[in-house]
Amino acid sequence: MTNLRDVWVYLAASPLLHLALTLVAYRVGYLLYRRQRFNPLFNPVLIAIVIVVSILLATGTSYQTYFQGAQFVHFLLGPATVALAVPLYRQVERVRRSGLAILASLLVGSLTAALSAIGIVWLLGGDRDSIVSIAPKSVTAPVAMGIAEQLGGLPSLTAVLVILTGILGAMLGPPLLNRLGIKDWAARGLAMGVASHGIGTARALQVNDVAGAFAGLGMGLNALATSILIPALWHLLFGGR
């Protein structure tokens, strides 16, 4: 018994345990997702997060300890984001042909994301911190946190809202688009990338190459658009308060 405990203490201190936990939890999530024929409601990221958080809470493990192992996975986000240039380049002709449509949809989508979030929180009586922190929710996390900080919000609240937005978009976006009868993969992908950044892009990539390419494009462009639009909008609406 003490042996087992010693082994546990040893493993819990090494990054290997939590690296393995991350990979295994994702594998479980992915297998479930696949068994449900890639039904977006069985989002593998959400399933993996629920498993990992439950285990960490049950074993009293801190996020910092967990992250020492998980950082090796987390680190690959950077190179993977760079790699989005490849599917994008494969669709370069299509992107060039619909340049204006992309630009217009991006601007309208970006404004919708920010204004509707600000408006709904305000209408339902949310406080100022909540309004500022949710405004950049559709943008990839590092940019969103920067915007929240610049406007005096809470970057850590923004980080949570960004992740939840990504998961919600990946889960609810596809059935919504089906219901609206939008079959154009470029439009579907762009919308997923603009509204729900990397997590939406990951879902789009699993489904269709064109959608994946346009989602990556939407995510990148929306990071740029939102970081210019939101501070300007904020001054317009609240006079820089």
Partner 1 sequence: MVEWITILVVCQLAGEALVALTHLPIPGPVCGMALLFGALVWNGRVPDGLGKTADGLLSNLSLLFVPAGTGVMLHFKLLAGDWLPLGAALIASTLMTIAVTAWLMARLSRRPPRRFEERTRD
Establish if 182 lies at the interface with partner 1 (CB under 8 A). Answer: yes
**For partner 1, which stretch binds (CB under 8 A), given 3-11, 34-42, 89-97, 233-241?**
89-97
Pick the binder of partner 1 from 40, 44, 91, 210 (CB under 8 A): 44
The single-letter code of the amino acid at 143 is V
Establish if 77 lies at the interface with partner 1 (CB under 8 A). Answer: yes
**Inter-axis angle of helices 44-59 and 155-180, nearest 10:** 150
By beta-carbon proximity to partner 1, the closer residue of 11 and 86 is 86
DSSP state of 91: T
Min dist CB 179 to partner 1, Å, is 9
Min dist CB 4 to partner 1, Å, is 26
Pick the binder of partner 1 from 7, 20, 156, 237 (CB under 8 A): 156
CB 144 within 8 A of CB 154: no
Of residues 183-212, which lie at the interface with partner 1 (CB under 8 A)?
184, 186-188, 190-192, 194-196, 198-199, 201-203, 205-206, 212
- Residues contacting partner 1: total by CB under 8 A: 113
Contacts 24+ apart (CB under 8 A), 18-24: 18/61, 18/65, 18/66, 18/67, 18/68, 18/69, 18/70, 19/69, 19/70, 19/72, 19/73, 20/69, 21/52, 21/55, 21/66, 21/69, 21/70, 22/48, 22/52, 22/69, 22/70, 22/73, 23/73
Establish if 113 lies at the interface with partner 1 (CB under 8 A). Answer: yes
CA pair distance 151, 125, nearest whole angstrom: 19
**For partner 1, which stretch binds (CB under 8 A), given 4-12, 34-42, 111-119, 232-240?**
111-119
Pick the binder of partner 1 from 102, 132, 148, 210 (CB under 8 A): 102
Establish if 80 lies at the interface with partner 1 (CB under 8 A). Answer: yes
Give the three-state DSSP class for 42: helix
Establish if 151 lies at the interface with partner 1 (CB under 8 A). Answer: no
Q: How many Cβ atoms sit within 10 Å of the Cβ of residue 130?
A: 19
Pick the binder of partner 1 from 28, 32, 49, 233 (CB under 8 A): 49
